[in-house]
Amino acid sequence: MSTAPPMVVGVLAIQGDFEAHRKVLEGLGAEVREVRAPADLDGIAGLVIPGGESTTMTLGLEREGLADPLRDLVAAGAPVLGTCAGMIMLDRSHLGVLDIAAERNAFGRQVHSFEARLDLDGVGDGVEAIFIRAPWAREVGDGVEVLAAVDGHPVAVRQGDVLAVSFHPELNGETRLHEWLLSRIAAVATTQTGGEAK
């Protein structure tokens, strides 16, 4: 009896804290591939877009010709988790796969970093959230669900299988967002194989 190859999770590795995300995913038993070029997306079942510097990341996507292949990946149904700058990269003005407008550095500069405990519907309660030069969603489209807010500003949003948060779950051992991503990847795979887990 043959077994299906393991599902591979991509981590965008143009810039930012991608190595920390890789460690979390591997700790959860996932096979991880760092994505730096369009060919790296072949066979990817889901993707993490990490925090970092959104301008540098945007230039890197343009340089490597990755923007359209990333849009195609999401359009094909691959679940995505974006953290901090990842929220910005997913918004209307960047990749355009999440119907939000993100505000950069919305909570202030690095000196204004803070931590909070958030309840995220569908992810978990008491999620430990570290905010560092964090964005928030300034505008949210009708098809976007706000999962958590700080002082009335959306900091965790979901549209279908695209989840974006303003904070850094990879920095403090908080694994539930990555677990959500892996569960959605498994669910998509089950649907694509006619309802039978492989």
Catalytic residue among 84, 94, 103, 174: 84
Catalytic residue among 21, 168, 174, 178: 168
Catalytic residue among 21, 94, 170, 174: 170
Q: What is the DSSP string of 49-90?
A: E--S-HHHHHHHHHHHT-HHHHHHHHHTT--EEEETHHHHHH
For residue 26, indicate whether it is catalytic: no
For residue 94, indicate whether it is catalytic: no
Distance CA 102, CA 87 (A): 7
For residue 170, indicate whether it is catalytic: yes
Q: What is the DSSP string of 136-192?
A: EEEEE-TT-EEEEEETTEEEEEEETTEEEESS-GGGTT--HHHHHHHHHHHHHHHHH
Distance CA 81, CA 185 (A): 11
Active-site amino acid positions: 84, 168, 170
